[in-house]
Structure 1
Amino acid sequence: MTTDDLVTSPPSSATTPGSRPSLRPLLLRLHFYAGVLVAPFLLIAALTGLLYIFTPQLENAVYDHELHVAADARWQPLEAQVAAARATLPEGRLTKVRPAPSATDTTQVLFSVPGLQDSYAKTVFVNPHDNEIRGVLETYGSGQALPLRAWLDQLHRNLNLGDAGRLYSELAASWLWVVVLGGLALWWGRRRRDKGTGKRAKLLSWHTTTGLWVAAVLLFLSATGLTWSQFAGQNISDLRTTLSWQTPSVPAKAAQAPADAPVISTDAALTAARSAGLSDPVEITMPAEAGSPYVVKQVQRSWPEKQDAAAVNASTGEVTSVLRFGDWPLAAKLARWGIDAHMGLLFGLANQIVLALVCVGLVGLIVWGYRMWWLRRPTQPRFGRPYPRGGLRKLPMTVLFPGAVVLIAIGWFLPVFGVSLLVFLAVDAFLGWRAAHRA
Structure 2
Amino acid sequence: MTLPEEISVPENPTAPPPPRRSWRPLLMRLHFYAGILVAPFIVVAAVTGGLYAMAPTIERLAYGDLLRVEPSGRPVPLADQAAAARNAYPHLAMTGMRPSAETGESTRIYFADPALDEEFRRAVFVDPYTARVLGDEPTWLGYLPVSTFLDGLHRHLQLGEPGRIYSEVAASWLWVVALGGLCLWLFRRGRVVTVARGLKGRARTLNWHGATGVWLLAGLLFLSATGITWSTYAGAHVSDIRTALNWQRPTMDPAPTSTATVDPADIDYDAVVHAAAGAGVQLPVEVALAPEAGAGVTVTEQDKPYRLTTNAATVDPATGSVTSTLDYWRDYSVVAMLADWGIRAHMGLLFGLLNQLVLLGIAVALVAVIVGGYRMWWLRRPTRGSAWAVGRAPLRGGLRTLSPWAAGALVVTAVALGWFLPLFGIPLAAFVIVDLGIAAIKRGKAGTDA
TM norm structure 1: 0.89
Q: Deviations over 1:326-353 (max 9, x none)?
A: 2221111111110111112212222222
Deviations 1:222-278 (A, max 9, x none): 1111122121122212221111111112213x5332245787432332121122232
How far did residue 109 of structure 1 move?
1.2
1:318 to 302, 318, 321: 321
Deviation for aligned residue 1:91: 3.5
Correspondence list, 1:382-421, <5 A = 382=391, 384-388=393-397, 392=399, 395-421=402-428
Cα offset for 1:381? 7.0
Aligned with 2:436: secondary structure? helix
The partner residue of 1:248 within 250, 265, 276 is: 250
Distance 2:304 2:444 in 1: 60
User: Helix, strand or coil: the match of 2:138?
Assistant: strand
Question: What is the aligned partner in structure 2 of residue 258 from structure 1?
Answer: 259
Distance 1:383 1:430 in 2: 17
Deviation at 1:192, TM superposition (A): 4.5
Alignment-mate amino acid for residue 258 of structure 1? T
Deviation per CA, 1:119-149: give whole Å up to 9, x if none.
Answer: 32211101111211111001122xx221112
Which residue in 2 is equivalent to 1:371? 375
Partner of 1:297: helix, strand, or coil? strand
Secondary structure of the equivalent of 2:230?
coil
Give CA deviations for 1:348-406 in whole Å, capped at 9, x if unaligned: 22222221221111011111111111111216975514522xx6466434323332222
Letter in 1 for 2:424: F
Mapped partners of 2:187, 2:61: distance in 1: 49
Cα gap change, 1:394/1:51 in structure 2, threshold over 3 Å: closer, same or farther? closer
Residue segments in structure 1 that go unaligned for 5+ positions in a row? 1-15
Query: 1:17-61 CA deviation, whole Å, 9 max, x = no partner?
Result: 423333322211211111001111111111112222222222222
Q: Between 228-237 and 396-405, report the one with greater CA deviation.
A: 396-405
Residue segments in structure 2 that go unaligned for 5+ positions in a row: 1-15, 384-388
The match for 1:128 is 128
Residues 293 and 260 of structure 1, relative CA distance in 2, 3 Å threshold = closer
Percent sequence identity over aligned pairs: 46
Contact 1:72–1:103 (8 Å) recurs in 2? no
Cα 1:209–1:109 change in 2 (3 A) is same
User: Separation in 1 of the partners of 2:51 and 2:262?
Assistant: 49
Check conservation: 2:206, 2:376, Cα contact below 8 A.
yes
- Which residue does the alignment assign to 2:365? 361
Instruction: Give the one of 439, 445, 449 matched to 1:432.
Output: 439
Contact 1:85 1:126 survives alignment (8 Å): yes
Distance 1:166 1:260, change over 3 A: closer
Query: C-alpha displacement at 1:115, in angstroms?
Result: 4.2
Quote the Cα distance in structure 2 between the aligned partners of 1:210 and 1:394: 29
Q: Distance in 1 between matches of 2:208 and 2:126?
A: 52
- After TM superposition, the structure 1 = structure 2 runs for residues 282-321 of structure 1, keeping only pairs within 5 Å, are 282-321=285-324
Select 1:281's aligned residue among 279, 284, 295: 284
Q: CA RMSD in A?
A: 2.2
| 2:38 counterpart of 1:35 | no
Q: Which moved more, 1:209-218 or 1:342-351?
A: 342-351
- 8 Å CA contact 1:264–1:316 kept in 2: the answer is no
Q: Partner letter of residue 349 of structure 1?
A: L
The answer (yes or no) to whether the contact 2:212–2:369 under 8 Å persists in 1 is yes
Equivalent residues of 1:292, 1:314 under 8 A apart: no
Give the 5 Å matches for 1:62-101.
62-101=62-101
Question: What's the secondary structure of 1:290's corresponding residue?
Answer: coil
Deviations 1:281-333 (A, max 9, x none): 11111112111021111113421324111111233221122222222211111
After superposition, the Cα gap between the structure-2 partners of 1:71 and 1:37, relative to the gap in structure 1 and judged at 3 Å, is: same
Contact 1:386 1:429 in 2 (8 A): no
Deviation at residue 63 of structure 1 after TM alignment: 0.7
Q: In the superposition, relative to structure 1, how do residues 118 and 24 fare at CA in structure 2: closer, same or farther (>3 Å)?
A: farther
- Of the three residues 353, 365, 370, the one matched with 1:349 is 353
* Kept in 1: contact 2:47–2:363 (CA 8 A): yes
- Any conservation in 1 of the 2:57–2:353 contact (CA below 8 Å)? no
What amino acid sits opposite 1:384 in the alignment?
A
Secondary structure at 1:295's aligned position in 2? strand
